[in-house]
Amino acid sequence: MATNTPQETPDWKALVRSRLVDAPVEEDVIDEIVEHADELYRSHMLNGRAPAEARAAVEAEMVNLPTLMRAARAARRRRIATATEPPRPGAFRPVSAFMRDTAYGARLLAARPSFTAVAVLTLALGIGANTAIFSIVHDMLLAPLPFPEAERLVMLWEVEVADPENPYIVSAPNWQDWRRQSTSFEHAAIWENLRFNLAGEQEPEQVFGMRVSAGLFPMLGLAPQLGRTFTEQEETPGHALVVISDGVWRRRFGARPDAIGTTMRVNGKPHEVIGVMPPQFIFEQQRQDVWVPIAFNAEDAARDSHSFRAAARLKPAVTFDAAKAELEAIGARLQAQYSENRGESATLTRMSDMGVTGLKPTLYALLGAVALVLMIACVNVANLLLAQASARQKEFAIRSALGAGRGRLISQLFAEGLLLSLMGGMAGIGLAWLGTTAVSNALPPSIRLAPFRTAGGAPIDPAVLAFTFGIAALTGVLFSLAPMLGVAGSQPASSIKGAGDRGGTARFTGLRGVLVGVEVALALVVLTAAGLMIKSVGRLIAVDPGLDPRGVLVMDVALPQPDFYGPPQRTTFCQDLDARVSEVPGVLAVGAISHLPLGGGTAGRGITIEGRPVPTPEDAASAQYRLTCPGYFRALGIPILRGRDFTHGDSVSATGAAIINETMAKAYWPERDPIGARLRHGSSPTTANPWVTVVGVVKDVRHFGLHNPMRREMFRPYSQLAWPSMTVTVKAAAEPMLLASPVRSALRAIDAEQPVTRIRTMDAVIEESIGTRRFPMLLLGAFSLVALLLAAIGVYGVVTYIVSQRTREIGIRMALGARAAEVVGMVVRRSLTPIAAGLVVGIAGSIVASRLLGTLLYEVKPHDPVVLGAIVAVLGTSAFAACLVPARRAASVDPLVVLKEE
């Protein structure tokens, strides 16, 4: 064994010189090379090499020395002598470094367009959908009403003691007693929603309006923008005054200030315009245009004539509960005092709940679904970033080897994550804007026209946007730092070589499996909700409405008269209608009704049936009450089971006639033929209304919506009893909308001041009636598609990752003879574990969550096994397909290539 001592160092200088014959010589360079050779030689010797071996190794490096020398000389000669000042130590500028990181991050994201697009789109969908739905819900449920100190505003109702959940509108005498006896109210008001015909120099129009008590405007705390409102003295009949909306003021008066004091024809009578409300005044529906004094009439004086809505403003110190208790106590006293009030009390609700209580299930269901979509989106972005993290292990190892510090790497990842989130956020704002507009427009009228809501749709709520964006950004930034976990755990050198992947990234595998499971579970919940809604709506559409909507055109006409419910002033309305409209070519039948089935309106009446005993007031007979013109049943295809339709002979002077539906016939004449039986309006034993005779029985119609049961219905001829507005029904031989214009002209010919509004088909009416369910179904369906897509992307990403991690193993297996099918099976089996776990958790979750759909479902149970089974199958198949693609790719791995990589 040779003695490896430095003393025996070869004479490197001589060696170098010997190789530099005929070459320029730079002494400095020779010194440098000699020094290098020396160190190299010593290093070889220290590593246990023999001197000859070490010397040979050093000599092997000394090739091309003349070239080196020439290069050195050239370099030295033309050396740039403008070396600048060396930088001061510690002159690190974090801001510019961050800017540089951001610019670098942007380039990196641009270099991975598909990853960036998917991540940004995912974030945008989550942020956009959430912001849109939250904004609408906020506008509908949470935003305060547009009145000063609106939290003090309450609605007053009558209520049956036996049925406290369904309060109803009030009678004037009761309201007057409440107001007198209560000490809780600062202001109280009463009003009735009506339609009015406006006429004058312009086109006649029908508008919504109210007759109101003087207290209404002070109670709301809003003053007119012009003129004044009513005084209490003007509440008595005989004051032809009108307060108009900003819209009417602009339309009919050109926004002229001198409109105050002028007269306008309201329901055919001149009224003095005394005030103009401000443009933003919405009470309680957005389309109110005129307000006239309440002018209580004889009918209003009846304690059982429930016609009015009532509201009050609580005194500042009075709580809602205290006021409610006081009103209930008053209601109990009145019940004891008046026989008409038997079984009835009074109650309070918050004005802000008005009209939206019924919408809450829909809105909360959408809110829940959209929150799940946001969670899925976040999980998906996390998954995508983790996948990137494992793919970038080598990159980070190399950069760490190049001297990039941990802080620098984190800062750069942070910048990248932030950039990604920002891009997602920007796209999300765009989607939120589109979504809010689209959803607002798609809202069925039952939701869009809820009280106190603005017509233009909900504005994007900045707080909501900030919140959803914050969550998405947090996810983006948190998970973008994932590659650092890998860098911390592995040696740069081994990562660069590719051998150390498993050490650094194995920890992601478990986390990503969990994320996939979560994603599948969340998607299952959303999909199930959508599935249940689709089944519900399907069931609903299949319900027979009891009428034939095909080819039916309907339109509203107002028939105002001073005594709202007395005998009609326009006695010949039905005759004129028949004469004029029947002549229009293409019209098969024409009629009219006061409350169109599925149109949302109804009226009820207490009645007395001849010969039917009424032991207690609770046994009193009652029925839904409608007025029709002859031909109505034929136009809507409603079969007359017994007896006859009304004729023009059923006039005021003839005997009173009534037609009843099947349900009413079974309820009150179970044993006999009701034709010829007699009944009269009013349930009080002392009523003196004339008897009317049942002349016909018609088939039941789903008046109250396809999902609601039938009720007792009674029809009376319009020619005997008036109603302020009627819906004309026209059966067309062909496309009904083609008749809109000729029928409108025919109606004009009857009365030029007669506005015709809301021309639509009966199909549209039915469609609208199921809108409250169809709308959430469509949105849930859209959300569930997004959820399904995101879940599939998530599964695909994870399986691809698992396969990439196991490429070597797969290669070895295949080299050892494993068949492609076995490899596919192995990969799929491994991937199915988190998917199966997700499905199980998702089934449990969706059973719980679907209960929240509750009243939105129609004849479908929240745990409907068919729906649940179908959804599990769809989701399972999609997930399976998503793992099959990378699994098959794994099976096509060339063993040689894989093994060579090592």
Partner 1 sequence: MADKVGPEVKGSAEILVLALVEDRARHGYEIGKLIEERSGGVLKFHIASLYPMLYRLEKRALISGRWVEKAGQRRKRFYRITAEGRRVLASHRTRWEDFIHALTRVASLKSR
Positions that interact with partner 1 (CB under 8 A): 28-29, 31-40, 43, 61-65, 67-68, 71-72, 74-76, 78-87, 100, 103-104, 107-108, 111-112, 391-392, 394-395, 398-399, 401-404, 492-494, 496-498, 800, 803-804, 807, 886, 889, 898, 901
Angstrom CA distances, 888 to 810, 817, 823, 826, stand at 12, 17, 8, 11
Nearest approach, Cβ of 94 to partner 1 (angstroms)? 14
Closer to partner 1 by CB, 830 or 863: give it.
Answer: 830
3-class DSSP assignment, residue 372: helix
Closer to partner 1 by CB, 90 or 316: give it.
Answer: 90
Closer to partner 1 by CB, 687 or 892: give it.
Answer: 892
Give yes or no for a contact between 355 and 336, defined as CB atoms under 8 angstroms apart.
no
- With a CB cutoff of 8 Å and minimum separation 6, the contacts of 126 are 373, 374, 376, 377, 378, 424, 428, 468, 472
3-class DSSP assignment, residue 301: helix
Nearest approach, Cβ of 444 to partner 1 (angstroms)? 49
Cα–Cα distance, 221 to 148 (Å, whole number)? 6
- With a CB cutoff of 8 Å and minimum separation 6, the contacts of 299 are 305, 307, 563, 564, 565
Query: Is the sign of the CA dihedral 202, 207, 213, 214 positive or negative?
Result: negative
Closer to partner 1 by CB, 500 or 568: give it.
Answer: 500
Give yes or no for a contact between 725 and 557, defined as CB atoms under 8 angstroms apart.
yes
Cα–Cα distance, 109 to 105 (Å, whole number)? 6
Query: Is the sign of the CA dihedral 543, 546, 550, 553 positive or negative?
Result: negative
Token couple for 106: 């942007």
Cα–Cα distance, 267 to 558 (Å, whole number)? 9
The string over 218-228, giving b where at least 16 C-beta atoms fall within 10 Å of a residue's C-beta and e elsewhere, is: ebbebebebbe
Cα–Cα distance, 625 to 482 (Å, whole number)? 69
Cα–Cα distance, 120 to 96 (Å, whole number)? 26
Cα–Cα distance, 623 to 715 (Å, whole number)? 10
Closer to partner 1 by CB, 498 or 649: give it.
Answer: 498
Closer to partner 1 by CB, 277 or 803: give it.
Answer: 803
Token couple for 400: 């760490």
* 213 CA to centre of own chain: 37
Nearest approach, Cβ of 832 to partner 1 (angstroms)? 20
Nearest approach, Cβ of 475 to partner 1 (angstroms)? 23
Which parts of 178-254 are beta strand (E)? Answer: 185-199, 205-212, 226-227, 241-244
Nearest approach, Cβ of 141 to partner 1 (angstroms)? 48
- With a CB cutoff of 8 Å and minimum separation 6, the contacts of 810 are 803, 818, 823, 826, 827, 890, 891, 893, 898
Closer to partner 1 by CB, 90 or 615: give it.
Answer: 90
Nearest approach, Cβ of 79 to partner 1 (angstroms)? 5
Nearest approach, Cβ of 835 to partner 1 (angstroms)? 21
Nearest approach, Cβ of 856 to partner 1 (angstroms)? 45
Closer to partner 1 by CB, 454 or 807: give it.
Answer: 807
Nearest approach, Cβ of 65 to partner 1 (angstroms)? 7
Q: Which helix (H) or strand (E) holds 276?
A: strand 269-276
Token couple for 292: 């006239």
β pairing state of 756-761 and 725-732: unpaired
Closer to partner 1 by CB, 375 or 793: give it.
Answer: 793
Nearest approach, Cβ of 401 to partner 1 (angstroms)? 5
Nearest approach, Cβ of 30 to partner 1 (angstroms)? 11
- With a CB cutoff of 8 Å and minimum separation 6, the contacts of 537 are 770, 773, 774, 777, 858
Closer to partner 1 by CB, 87 or 709: give it.
Answer: 87
Closer to partner 1 by CB, 36 or 350: give it.
Answer: 36
Cβ atoms < 10 Å from Cβ of 114: 7
Closer to partner 1 by CB, 13 or 634: give it.
Answer: 13
Cα–Cα distance, 123 to 468 (Å, whole number)? 10
Nearest approach, Cβ of 41 to partner 1 (angstroms)? 11
Nearest approach, Cβ of 373 to partner 1 (angstroms)? 30
Closer to partner 1 by CB, 52 or 80: give it.
Answer: 80
Nearest approach, Cβ of 28 to partner 1 (angstroms)? 7
Could you tell me which of 252, 291, 254 has the C-alpha nearest to residue 274? 291
Closer to partner 1 by CB, 31 or 822: give it.
Answer: 31
Nearest approach, Cβ of 881 to partner 1 (angstroms)? 18
Give yes or no for a contact between 160 and 343, defined as CB atoms under 8 angstroms apart.
yes
Could you tell me which of 747, 739, 750, 730 has the C-alpha nearest to residue 589? 730
Nearest approach, Cβ of 70 to partner 1 (angstroms)? 9
Closer to partner 1 by CB, 92 or 165: give it.
Answer: 92
Instruction: Give 176: exposed, middle or buried? Use CB within 10 Å, 0-12, 13-18, 19+.
Output: middle
3-class DSSP assignment, residue 728: strand
Cα–Cα distance, 766 to 520 (Å, whole number)? 37
Token couple for 246: 């900003």
What angle separates helix 113-137 from helix 406-442, to the nearest 10 degrees? Answer: 50
Closer to partner 1 by CB, 597 or 886: give it.
Answer: 886
Nearest approach, Cβ of 426 to partner 1 (angstroms)? 24
Q: Partners of 212 in the beta sheet?
A: 191, 293
3-class DSSP assignment, residue 608: strand
* Phi and psi at residue 528, to the nearest 5°: -65, -45
Closer to partner 1 by CB, 497 or 863: give it.
Answer: 497
Closer to partner 1 by CB, 473 or 799: give it.
Answer: 799
Nearest approach, Cβ of 366 to partner 1 (angstroms)? 40
Cβ atoms < 10 Å from Cβ of 403: 7
